[in-house]
Each structure stands twice: as C-alpha cells, then as structure tokens.
Amino acid sequence: MFAEDQSGVIRFLEKLRGANAVERIETHISYIFLIGDRAFKMKRAVKLPYVDFSTPRLRLEACEKEVALNALTAPGLYIGVRKIMRGKDGRLGFDEGEELVDAAVEMVRFDQGALFDRMAVDGRLTAELMTRAARMIARFHRGAPIIHQGSGSANIAGVLRINAAGFATSRVFGADELADFNRAFEQKLTVHAPLLDAREAGGRVRRCHGDLHLRNIYLINGEPRLFDCIEFNDQIATVDTLYDLAFLLMDLWHRGFPELANLVANRYLDETQDEEGFVLLPYFMGIRAAVRAHVTATQVEECSVRSDKLAADSRAYFELARALIETQRARLIVIGGFSGSGKTTVAEVLAAQFGSPPGARIVESDRIRKAMHGVQAEERLGPAAYCPEVSEKVYGDMARRTFAILRAGGSVVADAVFDRAPNRARIEAVAQEAGVPCTAVWLDVKTSLLRRRVASRSVSPSDADLEVLSRQLAADTKGITWQLVDADRDAHEIARAILELQSGS
C-alpha cells in the first residue's frame, strides 16, 4: 500500500477558518473537513487494488470526476474543485502557486442528521421515505448510461477479483477461510452466469452509483438524493443495476431493518418491472457484504487505535456475506380477503420474514393494476379500470409473475381479494406447477370493522370504497377453503400466525 505524507495539507485545511471550527471525518480513502458552511473532501494518498490516489495529479483528476458525476444526482451540493498549490514562498494556497500539491472537492455543508445512516440510528427512516428513495434510485438507473464491455458474468467476476485482492491486503482472516469464502462466491457465479449474461445483453449493466449505501443518501427539501458516487474506478461503478441497489439493501439488512430492505426492493421492482433479476438479490447482497468486509479489514492495517473494533466489524460483514448466499427454499404465501382486511399491511410485514434476503417479492393486484394504467400506486383509477376484463388481466399477470419468480428460486407473497374461485384455483396451480409449498389464507374480519377501515382510508394503492366493499360482501364466498386467519389484531401478530401455518404445511 502506497502512502504519502499529507500532514501539511491537512494542517492547511484545518486552519482555513481556525482549527476550533473544523470537524474532520476520515474514511479509508478520504478526509472530509467541515468548515463553517462548507465541506472540503480530500483524497488520501493511497494505492489499493481498486483505487490509485498515489500522486497529486491522480487525486486532482478524481476530484474533477467526482464533481462532474455527482452534480447529476445532487444538484447544488457540489461547488467545484480547489487545487492546493505551493507558492515560491513554500506556503500552501488554493488555486494559485507553482506546484500542485493536492486537491479538494468543495461542497455545501449540510446537516449530518440529514444522512440516511444517521436517520436510521435515530429511527427516522419511514416506509414512505424509503418508498420515495426506491423510486428515486429507479429513476436514476433508468437514465444511467448502458455500458457493453463484456458479459454480465465477467462483470461480476471482476468484482470478485477485487474482493479477493482486497482481502489479501489484510491479516484479519485466515488463508483457509478466505479460500473457502472466495470459492463459495465463485460457485454461485457459475449458477447465475446465464442470467447475468442475459441481463447484460438486455442493457441492465450501466454506469451506476457504485457506493449506494445509507451514508450516501441524504434528505434535502424533503427529498432523498444520492451523492458521493464511485468516481475513481469505472469498473466498480459499471455494474448490474440490481447489484447497485443491493448495497442499500444489504446495509438496511445489516443494521436490523429487514422490513425496510424488503420494502425498498419491492418498490424498486414495482418501478422497474425487473422481476427476472429478483432471484439475484441475495447473491448481490452477499457480494456487497464482502466488499464491506474487505474494505473494513483494509482499515485495520492502517489504524491501531480502533483496530479491534474494525476487525470485529469486518468479521460481522464477512459472516453476513456467507449467510446471504445460503440457498433457502422458495415458498408461496397467498393472502386473500375483502377490502379493508389488511392484506397489504400484512403482506409487507410478512415478506421480510421468509425467503432469501431481502425476503419475498410481493405480487399485489392493486399495484399491478395501477402499473397497467401507467399511474403511481397512490393515484386513483376510474371504474373502467375495474371491469371484469381488466381484472382478468390483473390476475393473469399475477399468476405469470408469481410463477416466474418461484421457478427461478425466489419466494412470493401474492396479495389480492381472491373472492372468485377461478382466481384462487389459478394461483394455487402456479405453486403446484413450480413445485413449491403454498400457504393460502383468508383474512377474516368483522363486517363492521371492514367498513370502518375502508371509510377511513387516505392514500392507498387500493381504490375500493364502501360501495365496492358492499359488492364484495354480497358475493358468495362459501366455497373458500383457504385457512381462515383472524385479522382483527396487529399486523405483526397476523404475520406470525401465517408463518406458523406455513411451517406446518
């Protein structure tokens, strides 16, 4: 590992407005100085398998690229690049002098409490906020440049090589366990190679963010924004779009927010219709955990003060990576019930609790219907969107999507009214054809409670009103043989009851 003495530049930045006013943050490849209403980010003089900041010119070029790329997702945050020059008198200054010593990105300073990792610690990440974040990321990926520079499997093989090289620079892990670890990821790559190659051919490999975890999302004017993308290595940032997303999913999962990880995955897929890639998410999350493991292990070699904690953190990511790529059997849970029975809420609680991380894909009739009509889930549709012909298409699409995911090895929660016998039979036949266990339940709720819930709805994917509910209640549902579950209780209790039924099936 290369290391250049940057102490003089650090002192220069710390004294810009008085040392007492400066807060310094260190990462494995950067120093960030918070000074008044500005932040200055300087590259550390390191040379690692995946980044070379070993000369002032390379650091300047990286700063320039960082500003150009991040201006797209975080307009107004990045001010520009400041060259740190040495004059004839030997003093350092910004942009004037004879010798280039270093460079820094100048940014508008924002409240660190607006970072999503801080919000996670404070319990301020809500489902509504993470839904907006998922949609923002989907928009970003839609606009990201498609890159064809080899197959999809070769792209991921390159990531695995970087991981292996990164682990080799550290003494945190033993040679034998690293060999087993690397072999497990390579074996999974062989399994997924055909799908990865097909996705690359279809334009799913793009110049993405590359470092999309919670700390690189912030909230400004009520909207989530991405910043601090990978600028120093195009190979690391040119990846499958779902691999880019997987860093955020892994981060949420690692921090103990499985429901939010599952929600982000589902809302993202609702936007992108990228059902074929769903089965890759556990593997992608595992690779992302491995990235964090080797990066943190690298920091152990540089830091003596916090080395024990960093080694423990690296080990935790390492064990998570191994767990994430363990195969779990695909299953189907079907939730039926009248409007107001709480199907959607229960499905969202349930989905994170079975299947491989980030849990099950939610195949929901209301969201499919809205997508068919090109509107967001919260927008209302007129009566024509609910005619029998459209509903037949919705249930048919539910069956098609569910089968594709189950056959590929993913788990599904199918959520719809399912008041008609043919629709119930069709979804059960899907599980049988895919060869996976199926638990089908009917949420049983008193009529008076159904009416209260429907009447009190505000924004929801469901457009059902009291008139619609009345028509549902008038239908003949005596032929429903699915297991009845009392839904007049908390959604988490209902989810536990369904999982108990599933474990017994």
How confident is the model over 462-486, as a mean pLDDT? 86
Q: Say if strands 30-35 and 38-43 run parallel, antiparallel, or are unpaired.
A: antiparallel
Instruction: Please report the sign of the dihedral spanned by the C-alpha atoms of residue 360, residue 365, residue 370, residue 371.
Output: positive
CA–CA gap between residue 165 and residue 186 (Å, rounded): 14
Of 109, 139, 167, at which residue does a domain stop? 109
Token duo for residue 375: 């509107």
Please say if the pLDDT value at position 116 is more than 60. yes
User: What length does the chain have?
Assistant: 505
Is residue 178 classed as helix, strand or coil in its secondary structure?
helix
Count how many domains the chain has. 3
Highest mean pLDDT among 71-75, 262-266, 308-312 belongs to 262-266
Query: Does 55 lie in the same domain as 89?
Result: yes
pLDDT value at position 164?
Answer: 93
Per residue in 19-74, pLDDT (tens digit) is 556 888 888 899 999 988 899 999 999 988 788 999 999 999 999 999 999 998 99
Query: Does 377 lie in the same domain as 268?
Result: no
pLDDT value at position 48?
Answer: 82
Query: Does 448 lie in the same domain as 341?
Result: yes
Q: Say if strands 332-336 and 438-444 run parallel, antiparallel, or are unpaired.
A: parallel
Query: Does 278 lie in the same domain as 245?
Result: yes
Query: Does 343 lie in the same domain as 462?
Result: yes
pLDDT value at position 431?
Answer: 97
Q: Which of 394, 392, 416, 412 is nearest to 404 (CA)?
A: 412
**For residue 348, what are the CA distances in angstroms to 16, 30, 461?**
50, 38, 13
Go through 246-282 and write b for each residue having 16 or more CB atoms within 10 A of its CB, e for each that does not: bbbbbbbbbbebbbbbbbbbbbbbbbbebbbbbbbbb
Q: Which of 160, 166, 165, 183 is nearest to 297 (CA)?
A: 166
> Which of the four pLDDT bands, split at 50, 70 and 90, describes residue 278?
very high
Alpha carbon 268 to its chain centroid, in Å, reads 8
Per residue in 87-108, pLDDT (tens digit) is 999 999 999 999 999 999 999 9
Query: Does 442 lie in the same domain as 338?
Result: yes
Q: How many C-beta atoms lie closer than 10 Å to residue 476's C-beta?
A: 9
Query: Does 273 lie in the same domain as 369?
Result: no
Query: Does 396 lie in the same domain as 304?
Result: no
How confident is the model over 351-371, as a mean pLDDT? 96
Query: Does 283 lie in the same domain as 319?
Result: yes
Query: Does 240 lie in the same domain as 142?
Result: yes
pLDDT value at position 27?
Answer: 84
**Using N-to-C axis directions, what is the helix angle for 307-324 and 175-201, rounded to 10°?**
50
Query: Does 211 lie in the same domain as 132?
Result: yes
Query: Does 132 lie in the same domain as 89?
Result: no
Indicate which CATH number applies to the domain containing 454.
3.40.50.300
pTM to 2 decimals?
0.92
Residue type, 17: R
Q: Which domain does 89 fall in, by range? A: 2-109
Of 324, 355, 380, at which residue does a domain stop? 324
> Which of the four pLDDT bands, split at 50, 70 and 90, describes residue 17?
low
Indicate which CATH number applies to the domain containing 300.
3.90.1200.10
Residue type, 151: S
Of 109, 131, 153, at which residue does a domain stop? 109
